[in-house]
Amino acid sequence: MYNRNIKAYTSNNLEADLATADPHRVIQLMMQGCLERLAQAKGAIERGDMAAKSVAVSKAQGLLHGLQDALDMSQGAISDDLHGLYSYMDERIWDASLARDIAPLDEVMGLMLTIKSGWDQLPDAEKQQGYQMRKQKGDL
């Protein structure tokens, strides 16, 4: 009963956050969700719970694909580099899943934390500039 209530509360909070989120915040939430799913996959591997591992890995990869799809490839090297890094991270998650090894998950979590910390430190002026640029292009 307690877990179900926590899950409902978390789901409602996330939905409310997404409903009012700007594009920058949505990316933050996707990165955080990916980190959470990677931690769940790691725990599932350690417990030997292959069903839970499969679900967590699938969700982490889905979030990575979403981050990849959200890249503005017209921005040159940085978007190209991130696209390649996300592809590498996706492969490492797959490696972890197949080998039932947590080391690749630790590697991906470290990479995602690095990317997320940079994203979290963007100044508000830069966020607004990016938002306006995307709005002018009709992406929003």
Render pLDDT for 18-33 as a digit per residue (tens, 0 to 9). Answer: 555 688 899 999 999 9
Question: What is the distance between the alpha carbons of residues 71 and 84, in angstroms, rounded to a whole number?
Answer: 11
Residue 6 has pLDDT above 50, yes or no: no
Secondary element (H or E) of residue 101: none
Q: What is the pLDDT at residue 21?
A: 65
Residue 14 has pLDDT above 90, yes or no: no
CATH number for the domain harbouring residue 91: 1.20.120.340
Residue 9 has pLDDT above 70, yes or no: no
Report residue 109 as tokens.
């979590």
Matching residue, tokens 């979290």: 120
| Least reliable range by pLDDT among 8-22, 72-86, 99-113 | 8-22
Residue 110 has pLDDT above 90, yes or no: yes
Render pLDDT for 126-140 as a digit per residue (tens, 0 to 9). Answer: 877 777 776 777 765
Q: What is the pLDDT at residue 16?
A: 60
3-state secondary structure of 106: helix
Range of the domain at 64: 2-137
**Structure confidence at residue 109 as a pLDDT band (50, 70, 90):** very high
- How many structural domains does the chain have? 1
